[in-house]
Structure 1
């Protein structure tokens, strides 16, 4: 077995040459049910009674294998196609690299190996329990999140100078989100939070499916376009057209200094519903979910109303965000409240159009075509409003940059070449650099060797895609910016406290706040 914790790895040597900390914005642990479940059931019994434990067992618990993989595997191929059961992930955890597998299970071992990875500090998210925030039964969902957060707060407390777990915050309603936020951050002392950025609600269900208790909804309406309208469910991304007003939750995040990070997969909806192929479902999955959440939050005006907020979009990379940012700018240019008038059907010069039909007439295109005059005279129904950017408070393009760039942070894995795009001032509108942040994803199948993560990320510099200043922003400054934007004391008592203090001070000066 490898020597552990001596810092004589290639990653450790690279870290020493860098001269600045490396912060993992999104690492993963693998939950160990035989260790966790006794704590969980005792905790649930204490706060909710024995009946709640029985109810929890009856719905299959919170483990991904129990809730998703085993039910799919129990179906015949005929039944999988009949109910269109999306192929879930399989063989998704380290196996041949048994040391890495054990590292993901055992907090003390991960703590001891961080120097071997070249990582100074890691924010850790779950793996098997990432489905907890999506449990449909509201009471079970809330109790399960509370028990999970209590367990992680206790288990990781001894390692707080190098690692911190992210609390799971259910978001089916703002009320349940606030309740768990206050408990996890206010009482347990957890600093990082993970939310479900996309909530599935039945169309036409009671109260829009706010409680998340039904998978049904309105039957398919043949009059509706086949653009996902008839699936029986809709996506609520908590911003634009949300079922509830989530502003009280965002406000409470600011008050408690907790930056919400969405770590929500996009499998099982949209085009990622293959019944046979996990790869087809997984490719672009987190990017699709992150894009839906980010676009909804921006178009819903959340960064405009709460400029202090920072949102994390994890595991989906940043390429999609570069496209979204550019699309927002170009769409606003052509359809803002001042330019939209050019598209008003009433402004069509029908006489001019008919004269051009006459000038360039042929056997098919001429002003005598039956119905042509009437078609040109026909106006679209008057829209209820014409400024679809009104919630965003945008008066000029620079407002888009001012709102988007500091509000959104994008978790990118070591093998993601689109990180270069995020830092390409020549490619992005207004010379902007999107805030990509290093996210190892250690503990999952796409990391074959934890000791190779940092070196793989540094290939962006070796291949001249990033300079060392941009790389520092990627692995150090941007993670600090995200986690301290609302909580300047996030890294107090950690190995990176001094660097974090410098970044916080620089951000304050850049914002005109002056030194503290």
Structure 2
């Protein structure tokens, strides 16, 4: 077993030995051993539940048309059906030690020192597979999968915690599963889909899904739970805060406009987690969820953190133009018809037609054909897009974006510099970038590399040593403990943070 000669001697382990604070990895992916989980689920709910899992996994992993996935279709069929190119070879394979590590809990636990981590949050690759099952099986299957993972990793809980998959099809279903996962299984982190695809009712009523399945497949929209949802998800967010659960998501956008190539997976992949998570986060912000639940902590993983800074900057910029005060610059009632008429009299010789118009007619003409369309007076919160979010000052934006959201960045992601650029970010803040190695996926061929790759960003001047500490320790620690102050109680982290100052909320 010569491969084990690397144990505890990796470059990441050497860097870890120089740090006076722990390293918290917020995003580790593990593989389930199929015979074991299927046996568990069969015992839990019978053979039909196993069949439901297999169907849900197949549906999640493959984009199908006419019953065949991309790899079963000819080029002509892909073009005809516009079948989106799906991922392939998405797991580590040549590195056999790592392949086994992501499958065997005890081995991963043993190799954490080699990885350079003190504590890791685990995301089994099929933890949300049950969300693709039919409504008759979805809830029971999700509960069985969560139960399996809780039992499998319980004895390693001093350094590992596994997430609970939470279906979000309805608030009630989500509440029931969260309650069971926390109170019965002892799980501490929720992993949710960042959106739920729902039928457009006007089309579904005309073309019922059971009669027109192909139309139903495309006649849909995505419900992001916070803005324009057909359900009130506030009871779920309230339960999350009550139970002290940090919420995570890896929500992607492959298949969306611009990400629907029928031939190129990379075209569909690059940036898709950032786009999907951005849609989700903006829905919570503009829907007022982060206003109503200031204790809610949400981490969006695998998309990097630069988009968190990008949206924050643009929220502030847009608010200065589209606040109640700023909107008055575009209020057609405030156009001075007398002044406009005088200016046309003085400078309008090129337009003799204006001479036959009254002041009111001239004003409407200059405003253009869009005047009637854009001059209707909105009612209540319709007047201001920032109304539901309760934004009165840019400090409110900071409090409801920067404090509420955390952004998972992979170790070699140089765009993380934007998160820590307090000169560009309004009010001089730094965005909550959190260390998310993503080991277990194709992004990381060797699990011993990520921490060292992150330190390379310090060596190259991309981020500072203080930023590095925030990235691998302080921000992850804030994320979990602001949601649940006792999150690390009884873990290997608890004794290591007694004398370390951790900044809490971003304030003025």
Q: TM over 0.5, yes or no? A: yes
The 1:53/1:101 distance shift into structure 2, 3 A limit, reads closer
Who is 2:494 aligned against? Answer: 497
Matches within 5 A, 1:172-191: 172-191=169-188
Q: Does 1:376 align with 2:374?
A: no
Is residue 253 of structure 1 aligned with residue 219 of structure 2? no
Listed one character per residue, the Cα deviations across residues 117-156 of structure 1 (whole Å, up to 9, x for unaligned) are 11111101122x1552541522322222111111110111
Moved more, 261-270 or 152-161: 261-270
Between the aligned partners of 2:247 and 2:436, the Cα distance in structure 1 is: 16
What are the within-5 Å matches in structure 2 for residues 357-376 of structure 1?
Answer: 357-361=344-348, 363=350, 367=354, 374-376=364-366
Q: Any stretches of 5+ residues in structure 1 without a counterpart? A: 220-229, 512-516
What residue in structure 2 maps to residue 224 of structure 1? none
Give the superposition deviation at 1:5: 7.5
The residue number in structure 1 matching 2:418 is 421
CA shift, 1:54, in A, is: 4.8
Distance 1:115 1:474 in 2: 19
Give 3-state SS (helix, strand or coil) of 2:22's partner. Answer: coil
Distance 1:331 1:213 in 2: 44
- 1:225 paired residue number: none
Distance in 2 between residues matched to 1:214 and 1:325, nearest whole Å: 45
User: 1:495, 1:214 → 2: CA distance?
Assistant: 56
Partner residue of 2:384 out of 387, 397, 417: 387
Distance 1:112 1:190 in 2: 22
Which of 109, 120, 123 does residue 122 from structure 1 map onto? 120
CA contact (8 A) 1:61 1:67 kept: no
178-187 vs 339-348, greater mean Cα deviation: 339-348
Instruction: State whether residues 41 and 50 of structure 2, in contact with CA within 8 Å, keep that contact through their aligned partners in structure 1.
Output: no
Q: CA deviation at 1:255?
A: 1.3
The 8 Å contact of residues 22 and 118 in structure 2, kept in 1 or not, is answered as yes
1:367 partner SS: helix
Q: CA deviation at 1:369?
A: 9.6
Give the aligned partner of residue 437 of structure 1.
Answer: 434
Superposition pairs for residues 84-95 of structure 1, below 5 Å? 84-95=82-93
Q: Tell me if 1:313 matches 2:300.
A: yes
Going from structure 1 to structure 2, the CA distance change for 1:16 and 1:409 (only over 3 Å counts) comes to same
Match of 2:272 among 271, 281, 285: 285
Question: CA, structure 1 residues 344+274, in 2 after alignment: closer, same or farther (shift >3 Å)?
Answer: same
The yes-or-no answer on 1:194 pairing with 2:204 is no
- Rounded Cα–Cα distance in structure 1 between residues aligned with 2:61 and 2:305: 32
Name the SS for the 1:176 alignment partner: helix
Contact 2:118–2:492 (CA under 8 A) maintained in structure 1? yes
How far has the Cα of 1:30 moved from its partner? Answer: 1.8
| Partner residue, 1:304 | 291
Matched ranges for 1:191-340 at <5 A:
191-204=188-201, 232-340=219-327
Structure 2 residue aligned with 1:108: 106
Distance 2:298 2:237 in 1: 10
2:473 counterpart SS class: helix
* Contact 1:5–1:114, Cα closer than 8 Å, also in 2: no
Q: Is 461-470 or 358-367 further displaced after alignment?
A: 358-367
Whether 2:346 is the aligned partner of 1:349: answer no
Bigger shift: residues 316-325 or 73-82: 73-82
1:68-101 deviation digits (Å, cap 9, x = unpaired): 5873322333332333222111011112212111
Give the direction of change, closer, same or farther, for the CA distance of 1:494–1:381 in structure 2 (3 Å limit). Answer: same
Q: Could you list the per-position Cα deviations for residues 462-501 of structure 1 after superposition, in whole angstroms to 9, with x for gaps in the alignment?
A: 1122221211110001111111112111112221113455
- Which residue number in structure 2 is paired with residue 20 of structure 1? 21
Q: CA deviation at 1:392?
A: 1.4
- CA distance in 2 between counterparts of 1:351 and 1:337 reads 25
3 and 245 in structure 1: CA distance in 2 versus 1, 3 angstrom threshold = same
CA separation in 2, counterparts of 1:186 and 1:67? 34
Q: 1:323 to 1:56 in 2, by over 3 A?
A: closer
SS in 2 for 1:123: strand
Question: How do 1:140-179 and structure 2 match up within 5 A?
Answer: 140-179=137-176
SS in 1 for 2:471: helix
* Pairwise CA distance, 1:193: 1.1
Partners in 2 of 1:436 and 1:34 — Cα distance?
Answer: 37
Judge conservation of contact 1:274–1:280 (CA < 8 Å) in 2: yes
TM-score (normalizing by structure 1) = 0.88
Q: How many residues align?
A: 491
Q: Could you tell me how far 1:205 is from its partner in structure 2?
A: 6.0
8 A contact 1:132–1:144 mirrored in 2: no
Instruction: State the SS of the aligned residue for 1:201.
Output: strand
Unaligned ranges ≥5, structure 2: none
Aligned residues of 1:480 and 1:503 also touching (Cα < 8 A): no
